[in-house]
Structure 1
Amino acid sequence: MSRLTRRRLLQRAASSPAPTGATGTPLGAAAAMTAGATVASAVAAPEGGSDPAAEPRTALRFPTGFGWGAATSAYQIEGAAKEDGRGESIWDTFSRTPGRTSNGDTGEIAADHYHRWAEDLDLMRDLGLDSYRFSISWPRIQPDGTGQPNQRGLDFYRRLADGLRERGIAPMATLFHWDLPQALQNNGGWESRDTVERFADYADIVFRALGERIPVWLTVNEPKTVVQNGYLRGHHAPGRQDPDAAYLVAHHLQLAHGRAVQAFRATGQPGRIGPALNLHPCYPADDSPAAAAATRLYDGYENRLYLDSVLTGSYPADVLADLGPQSRLARGIVDGDLAVISAAVDLLAVQYYTPIYVTADGGTEQRWPTSVAAWQQIYPDGMFDMLTRVTRDYGPIPLTITENGLPTADILAADGTVEDTGRVEFLRDHLTAVHRALAAGVPLESYHVWSLMDNFEWEVGYDQRFGLVYVDYATQRRILKRSAHWYRQVIRDNGF
């Protein structure tokens, strides 16, 4: 990696708005994007794009069998951080470090889901969910990231999966949602190829223990967020600011995904498997050739680095050239790695939160109103653009949306209600874009809102609420927000 590239990566990471909610993805890691060969055409009108809120509403019905779900992750809701043999994760360490999280918040208790899982499953049933996407805590299964499994940890997920199935809800399990065992971090973490092999061993344990209970598996959640927030900005665990390490980590996370797919196939278990990628459509900020070129490269770092490797078996040539032949990514690729990374998957999980507008100098700018998370521009058409782009550029791979949502300034009123009308409007507009994508031929199977309930939102702790369900952290009482009632009706009607 050249000194110029390294300096640019750090400068952009430092100057970009920092997402802090469910995805936590910075608006700029290195350069820019846009869809495949259509840098200008995929979203050619950042200023003239349609405003879904301004258009007349008509009744929308989704295809028969379309799946409606909600999503969470282990560290954000489970709590019970020191119970039943669970080991330390990097997020335990990070959140206990002074100055790392808002108010010094940690996930030690979170939403106490570990103890309240049955109550929470009843809540999901009452909402009418078809599917629940959750994650499995690696340090709950292997406290040190290696060795024999902790049966008490596996038993918790057995109970959870069985409880979901008893209530008619399909479990969708994510193997890794950022809570790496601290013991593995002490030995190099995702900078070490050994962690890839440890992940394959962990995946094999989980598949063999739970495989018949889980119809859909997701391997690695948002590798890009680990790279950008954990190793460029440093405001997520493990809290590094090292561009040389960052893209080696990207390679090892992708390799871990591939090794998990191989492990799954080797077990012969039924079900399907794929990755979960947060994808951000990138648009040129003006009509200049320089903005188009910057946007194309931004796309390489933001989207194609992960899509191309998994779905085509190659890394984008422009990204490799920008990093340079001596980058740790380039030097870390071993013969056969890309064949492992591109092991055939059954589906792709897409997560959408915000667009990115790229200037001629490779910077970014805001074009749309933001949520209470300053990093999140609210642009529903970006959902349509990204879904159709994936299908156009990579073929008809089955898709599922596994995260889409926003934080709002939720207040529990004296009458016990939470009027999150902004979230209802957000979901309505984004589901309208989803419906358009289905009509355009995108093979989308299901939609999971982020999030089922309020939770620990990484470095902002409990300051932001993304849930359909309000959690009163003092009492752990669950209260359905207006959005939960609205979503329940959407599920009942299969539309709105």
Structure 2
Amino acid sequence: MTGRFLFPADFVWGAATSAYQIEGSPLADGAGPSIWQRYAHTPGMMANGDHGDVACDHYRRYRSDVQLMKALGLQSYRFSINWARVLPEGTGRINPAGLDFYSRLVDTLLEHGIVPNATLFHWDLPAALDDRGGWLNRDSAHWFAEYAEVLFKALDDRVPMWATLNEPWVVTDGGYLHGTLAPGHRNLYEAPIAAHNLMRASGAAIQAYRGVGRHQVGVVFNIEPKYPASERADDVAATVRAHAYMNQQFADPALLGSYPPQLKECFGDAWPDFPASDFGLTRQKVDFVGINYYTRAVVRDDPAQSPLRASPVRQPNRTHTETGWEVYEQGLIDTLAAFAQRYGHTPLYITENGAAFYDPPVVEGDTLDDPLRVDYLRRHLRALHKAMADGANVKGYYAWSLLDNLEWSLGFAKRFGLVHVDFATQKRTPKASARFYAQVIASGGASLG
């Protein structure tokens, strides 16, 4: 090992999951239903009829899963909290058993020397709140702040890192515009309203944290850099629209207190005139920003595609993951540079990065080799090291995902895990990528080459 890729001694190495994807037991011990439980049990919405009623059974197996994390050498674990497990109706009554689950999880992590990193909302809105309009209701900002304050008061003494939202773009694009994710709406007019209320909610939760919290709070965005398919003016303009829609629609109100003008161009009369006073709420001081990076998009002008009038162009002769995403580590470098240029040098964490590839069946006694995933991680960690050498203010990295899990509406067929899960028996088997990542952590990056 040459030490060429050594990371700072205080760099945080972790892995991430989300509640609905791994916990199972969605109604256990007094929990209320979420929109994802409702969506997953709606015929035709999920691949193969899959759902998260058991998933990875983490709700019952969390102690052994934490032991797995310890064996990998994880320094931090990023997890999300099921809102309806804690507040079954979304507001009001607290479910002590649900809150106690997360308290026990946090205590178990600390017992094993693993720093908890909690996300308040990873897409699983309580069904009771969806019945009241969900993110289309302006009161959702106050609902979320109430929920957040419950968690802060219960766990901030032991949880030093909090994120308000995970990937609000996915929530609105999949859940309100295209109907491919819960709650399954397809409405051009709803999407901007839901997006705006999500950012109001994030701001309200950060305000709540400043009142009772003592550590760090931030927000997590998925960033997918956009590159024009050609130098034609139409393709360049389409790329700007796609970038504004995916990468600036949420970061701008959170960090700049405004929206990029291209959104009005894209949505036309479906874009509301939001009250100027709202941006005092959306723009709150954050202690960090999480960036989830997976791939890039090469964009061409496409008038048939509403509302962006843009579509991605699949690149030939490139490796693509099982989800169709191009492996393009340079995009991570470009993303970090562009983010700092627009928003300044706020501390950043790579809160998700990983890939779904085909994994062979597990045979007792054999090593589960996943060379494409190992290659993906190696390339992106080397790229991250270069970005940091160039000045990127990145404080930590969380691999997605610790476990194979329910990949939302794609079901169990797409495996992102460092650890293989046999969903019939719940047996966990670390893959070659887990061993690779453990070596990276133990060596501080030196094993990267």
TM value normalised by structure 1: 0.86
Which residue number in structure 2 is paired with residue 228 of structure 1? 173
1:16-415 alignment, distance < 5 Å: 59-267=4-212, 269-324=213-268, 326-327=269-270, 329-331=271-273, 333-361=274-302, 362-367=310-315, 368-374=318-324, 376-411=325-360, 412-415=362-365
- Aligned equivalents of 1:322 and 1:373: distance in 2? 27
- Aligned equivalents of 2:128 and 2:7: distance in 1? 46
Distance change in 2, residues 1:416/1:115 (3 Å): farther
Which residue number in structure 2 is paired with residue 476 of structure 1? 426
- Aligned equivalents of 1:416 and 1:155: distance in 2? 38
RMSD over aligned CA atoms reads 1.3
Once the two structures are TM-superposed, the CA of residue 463 in structure 1 deviates from its matched residue by 0.7
Once the two structures are TM-superposed, the CA of residue 369 in structure 1 deviates from its matched residue by 2.9
2:69 aligned counterpart, secondary structure: helix
Match of 1:386, as an amino acid?
Answer: T
Match of 2:249, as an amino acid?
Answer: L
| 1:131–1:171 Cα contact (<8 Å) kept | yes
1:359 aligned counterpart, secondary structure: strand
- Aligned equivalents of 1:169 and 1:72: distance in 2? 15
- Aligned equivalents of 2:367 and 2:279: distance in 1? 51
1:440-451 alignment, distance < 5 Å: 440-451=390-401
- Aligned equivalents of 1:234 and 1:351: distance in 2? 22
| 1:132–1:170 Cα contact (<8 Å) kept | yes
- Aligned equivalents of 2:85 and 2:377: distance in 1? 33
- Aligned equivalents of 1:208 and 1:321: distance in 2? 42
1:29-73, Cα deviation, whole Å (9 max, x unpaired): xxxxxxxxxxxxxxxxxxxxxxxxxxxx98411112111100000
Match of 1:184, as an amino acid?
Answer: L
2:284 aligned counterpart, secondary structure: coil
- Aligned equivalents of 1:353 and 1:79: distance in 2? 26
| Regions of 4+ moved over 6 Å | none
1:422-481, Cα deviation, whole Å (9 max, x unpaired): 100000001111011100101100000000001111011111111000111111111110
1:311-366, Cα deviation, whole Å (9 max, x unpaired): 11111122124323x43x424x2342111111111100000111011113422201
- Aligned equivalents of 2:171 and 2:252: distance in 1? 18
- Aligned equivalents of 1:233 and 1:410: distance in 2? 30
Q: Tell me, which stretches of 5 or more residues in structure 2 are unaligned?
A: 303-309
2:301 aligned counterpart, secondary structure: coil
Match of 2:336, as an amino acid?
Answer: L
1:154 aligned counterpart, secondary structure: helix
TM value normalised by structure 2: 0.95
Give the alignment partner of residue 433 of structure 1, picking from 374, 378, 383. 383
Which residue number in structure 2 is paired with residue 38 of structure 1? none
Q: Tell me, which stretches of 5 or more residues in structure 1 are unaligned?
A: 1-56
Match of 2:422, as an amino acid?
Answer: D
How many aligned residue pairs are there? 435
Match of 2:295, as an amino acid?
Answer: T
